[in-house]
A and B are shown apart, each in its own frame.
Chain A
Amino acid sequence: MAETDFKISMRDVHKQFGPKVVLDGFNLDIAKGESVVVIGGSGVGKSVMLKCLLGLLTPESGAITIDGENIIGISTGQRDRINHQIGMLFQMAALFDSQSVWENVAFGLMARGTSKSDARDIAVAKLALVGLGSEVIDLFPDSLSGGMKKRVGLARAIATDPEILFFDEPTTGLDPIMGDIINDLIVHCVEETGATTLTITHDMQSARKIADKIAMIYNGKIVWMGPTGDIDQSGNDIVTQFIHGRIVGPFQATAQL
């Protein structure tokens, strides 16, 4: 398939910081409506890949397209138009401290011209979708637990009904039960919105639950990608070591660096 046939496509993307090469000929294609999870160890380039997609970092070379449209080196106005169809759940939720819960959720709506009262109504509905009632809407982020912050972050990500959702380590820092609740909410929200999703995580339980396909990143490249059900029979030493959390294996060399 050509890159224009995919919702999201990254081809031969290179990104380095000084002498450190982070993405080294990175390729990833995601079809419309697909849920792809990228797994990999710390510092292998998962977050950098996501920031390149969001336009927060610019790769040295390669092509990144969304709906077949190149997104590298585009103007701020074009970037805003692309961002209109993207929702993002950050690792630590990244809620704005100075704004209440509903203002956080409604922020993207109001930035796009929705009136304050309409934006508040939509925010309340989205908060209900992630299991938060009216008692929290006027609270500020510093009075929320980690799990509640993630829920609010998720509500903010889906508030504008985006076509694409990015999740950065959605279960990091949560207990296993809350992590599973967030996983269920992500699956539920994706089903509701029909969005194309890309998630990066270390959490295999989370990956198995929310992914149609799993991709493994190592040394700046995707070394394996396949349906979630195939990961246990991937035949790839790096994938096998990672999903079983073994100390011995190809990852060890990286860890000792």
Chain B
Amino acid sequence: MNFLQPIGNVTFAFLATIGRLIVFTGTALLHSVRSPFYPRIIVKQMIEIGYFSLPVVGLTAIFAGMVLALQSFTGFSRFSAESAIPNVVVLSITRELGPVLAGLMVSGRIAASIAAELGTMRVTEQVDALTTLSTNPFKYLVAPRFIAGITMMPILVFIADIIGVLGGYLVSVYQLGFNAANYLQNTYDFVEFIDVFSGLVKAAVFGFIITLMGCYHGYHSKGGAQGVGQATTNAVVSASILILCFNYILTGIFFAVDG
């Protein structure tokens, strides 16, 4: 029966982690909606998460749009459906590629940065110092990052949508010989509110996941530099996996609503 022991240990450890994560999430959300707020820190985090992520998200979006146009052309030209390329590009970008690619890129940038910062603060006792200075670490460290992540990701993804469609337009018009006005008209006629809205909802959820994983792993890191490194890795990996999982769940929900 000894072989059951490690299975039991792993199961209990997993359940304990889930429990800790739920308590952490609840506490953080509660502090995100209750005063006092720290507007200066919220704005600083918004700039960090939103503004400074623009180059990496923009580059990802434009290349994704360009590749999408080329690959679609390769496939669609086999059954003379090239005219559907603007539709495929805008639908793919707004519903899937915009939020998912932006989520993964921001996850690498922000989840890692939050985990490293909070982890270092934890192991150097700065988090404890906050408590002794009558400042709740959840309100001061976690809540501003939550608020910034949830609000800035939809804005980032909206911009990524525009840039991604632009990428498809550039390739289609200047490389594949599409008429510019027709391409834009097709895109505009085909895209619906729900396409963009579903992508922005996904973006808000991904922003929540990214900041949650960064804060959770950073806040609970221990053991010095190695612990902070581990926390950073765990934050990025768990955020990326959760983004892909929740992308499927949210797509399923919108598919049901749409259908």
Contacts and interface: CB of A to CB of B under 8 A. Distances in A.
Interface of A: 51, 54-56, 76, 80, 83-84, 86-88, 90-92, 94-97, 107-108, 111-112, 156
B135 A88 contact: no
A107 B125 contact: no
Nearest to B123: A92
A80 B134 contact: yes
A1 B125 CA distance: 35
Contacts of A55: 131
> Which of B128, B131, B132 neighbours the largest number of chain A CB atoms within 10 Å of its CB?
B132
Contact of A90 (B121, B128, B135): B128
A83 B124 contact: no
Given A86-B132, A91-B125, A95-B129, 8 more contacts: A54-B131, A83-B132, A83-B133, A84-B134, A90-B128, A96-B129, A108-B134, A111-B134
B1 to A, nearest CB: 22
B136 to A, nearest CB: 7
B126 interface: yes
B134 A54 contact: no
A56 B135 contact: no
8 contacts: A83-B132, A83-B134, A84-B134, A86-B132, A94-B128, A111-B133, A111-B135, A112-B134
B134 A88 contact: no
Nearest to B131: A56
Interface string B98-137: 0000000000000000000000110011101101111110
A97 B132 CA distance: 17
A88 B136 CA distance: 16
Nearest to A56: B128
Contacts, number: 46
Contacts of A90: 125, 128-129
A112 B132 CA distance: 12
Interface of B: 120-121, 124-126, 128-129, 131-136
A75 to B, nearest CB: 12
A109 to B, nearest CB: 9
B133 A107 contact: yes
Contact of B136 (A51, A76, A95): A76
Nearest to B136: A76
A18 B128 CA distance: 22
A80 B132 CA distance: 8
A96 B136 CA distance: 15
A94 B134 contact: no
A94 B135 contact: no
B121 to A, nearest CB: 8
Contacts of B134: 80, 83-84, 108, 111-112
A99 to B, nearest CB: 10
A197 B134 CA distance: 19
A95 B130 CA distance: 10
Contacts of B128: 51, 54, 56, 90, 94
Nearest to B133: A108
> Which of B121, B125, B129, B133 neighbours the largest number of chain A CB atoms within 10 Å of its CB?
B133
A95 B132 CA distance: 12
Contact of B129 (A76, A80, A84, A94): A94
B124 A88 contact: no
B125 A94 contact: yes
Contacts of A96: 121, 126, 129
Contacts of A86: 132
Contacts of B136: 76
Contact of B131 (A83, A84, A97, A107): A83
B137 to A, nearest CB: 11
Contacts of B124: 92, 94
Nearest to B128: A56
Nearest to A108: B133
A87 B132 CA distance: 7
B42 to A, nearest CB: 15
Contacts of A107: 133, 135
Nearest to A107: B133
A91 B120 CA distance: 15
Contacts of A97: 120-121, 126
Contacts of A112: 134
A156 B120 CA distance: 20
Contacts of A108: 133-134
Contacts of B120: 97
Contacts of B131: 54-56, 83
